[in-house]
Structure 1
Amino acid sequence: MITATPSTAPRSGFGLGTAVSPIVPVGRRFLFADRRRASLTVLGVAASLMLVLILDGIFAGAVDRVTYYIRTSPADVFVSQAGVRTMHMSASTLPADTPARVEQVPGVTWAAPIAFASGSVAGPRGRQLSYLFGYDTSTGRGGPTRLVAGRAPGVGEAVLDEQAADRLGIGVGDRFMVMGMPVRAAGFSTGGSSITNTTIFVDLTEFARIHDDRVSYVLAGLDDGADPETVADAIQAEAAGVEAQTTEEFADSEARVVTDMSADLLRLMSTIGLVIALAVIALGLMTATLTRLRDFAVLKALGARTPRLAGAVAMQVLLTVVLATTVATTAVLALAWLLPLAAPAVQISITAAAVLQTATTALLVGMLAALWPLRRIASLDAATGFRETR
């Protein structure tokens, strides 16, 4: 904001003159003086922000899918072999009596064993990596969160995620292969497929036929009001040779290992996207200042000090980034809603923290790029600055 008092000075076209209010929003007027240029600048910055948000959102969505089973589980505590804190890149084997020992711990209402292994599933249209879960179908604990078709699996049957079933050409009642063993599709679940893998659920006895007879993890449900962390510590102390974590801790551990597995690729993609985005933002906002450099010289000749000019530029940058962030966020949210319709396995997850971090980075870079050309005006007297910008 620049303050100008009424005078007989000629009108500059930017709010200085006899018919002007004392407070002149110069930054906003500079931005919207040429609406076509302003629109192009905002859209250019928005496109750059979209690139960063989409890259972050795809990775966050993949992590959400990988941890979906854990996050939607009815269990309050996950129990695994001592030293094992994840499902990915881990092998956990527990003694057969572990569920009974966990259930005896004060605060535990129920304990359900599950078996877990990684392998592949094959259908008429191809093959896909898969995580195989074995659970007690009589209680349903440890099984799929929700069935969208069919029923729970019986002998020689399995429940397959609906997205994988569609991709592999498998219908309810069809036979397909899991780890080289034939099964029949009893139903379809949802939410268990990602870009790289899917999930399959079978009864524990069927898991023993396909893979082996073991208990990989134990899910524990707690009494109302029981503190998960306290009970997890008690389980770990009383049931020797186990690792007990709350569901939240287990999901966080799973997310970290997935992030570590993809760290190099993620860092490369994010760095490339960020550099491109920041270059476009810097160029666009620097150009916006350069095109108004003569106008800033006029304002300085009329008495405006350099800090006031910098304030006008800062306001222009702030408005541009805010508008661009709004456009980019709206567009990415729309894409996150539409993309699963075309590619169900791809999920974009946008968080307020990601939007705030991206906008803040864009604002800092934009400020530096837009204020840099003002050094030409700041280092000269008003008359010389006016002549040099003509």
Structure 2
Amino acid sequence: IRSASPSYSLLSKFSKKIHEALSSEHKDELSQAFNQITASFEQTDEFSGFFNRFSEALKGAVKGFVHSLAVDFSAYDPNNYAKSLRIYAKEGDNIRGFEEFGTGEQQVLLMAFVKAYMEVFTGENFVLIIEEPEAHLHPLAQRWLKEYVVDMCSCGIQVIISTHSTEFIDAEYLDGLVRVHKEGGVTKAIQLSAQQLCDFCIGSGVPENCVSPENIVDFYSTKLFSDQLKGMFAETIILVEGATEYFALPVYLKRSGYSLAEHGTEIVNCRGKDAIPLYWRLFKAYGYNCYAIFDCDRNASKTRDVFNGIFCEEEWDTETENCIVRADYAYFGKDFESYLRIAIDDYTSMEQTISEKYHISSKPGKAKAIAQHIEEIPHFIKDIADKLLNIEQLGQN
């Protein structure tokens, strides 16, 4: 709810009283004079061309944004009529001043204005800096605005955005992504070229014939989803291979005293063990703390191949009843669920009870429900929480 200031309310009341005091004859005279001045401006190609382009630039706006535009004169300056121009928007028959718009709408108007200016008055360059364009916009509007910004860039406008929204991060433009963070109390910025990201991947085990500066951005552009990009706003990232761990582990960690949000930690579902290394390389290249949790699936050879160049284990323990916790990764000899069924008394019967009582049939759903209701917290959860705290402390020093 936007509350008007007392001065604005008083000015509005004054304007209304003056408007009511005008006779119909005076209103007609003023209207005719206004139309004559407007017509004079519209005969100027630059003026009419600009506002036509300005209006066109806003036609694709999402619902709730500006619908039509017009010009008005807030004061009359006979020496320079252009100084008296005021842009306002209409919603039906209602006229809205610029100050009445929400932050998101104001940004859309500003960008449309710059875009139209560039198209009409060619030869000028702009660097448009936008702070948190996602402010007061719902996710769909943010997505549309991101597309609009990309279109603006194609017109030759350089745009710099500071954001806390994944909607404005596009893997197709990784080389333009800059991570700004504090390290040991000092603000640092990390920006990687395609060559630098490629070099990091090769240095961490990717064969040279499988990656190049020409294909690495395209590769990541088809691998990153919005929920995975949330890791870009964390300090520490937990990489897991599936939905079961994604939903259950935060519950166990919270109950053990480790809140992900409190410690700036994000959990990322990599959608498969084979994908953990590619996300690990991306996030580590940008300086994030990473902790991986995965299953060995009783296959030491494949696990060794998957994590070659990242995690070096002399002998991968593939016993079903084992969970190994290291400084920056943890793994289960077989898998997460099999370990819990052995490590926790009555876990199997609880799965059955949860399924019958809450009508939950999915594996992730049952794992999360048990994590919420079980009295016993697996010991490895506390071990992992301790490792995460160690990583956090090392990052602060």
Decide: shared fold, TM above 0.5.
Answer: no
**RCO (CA 8 Å, sep 6+): is it higher in 1 or 2?**
1
TM-score (norm 1): 0.18
TM-score, normalised relative to structure 2: 0.18
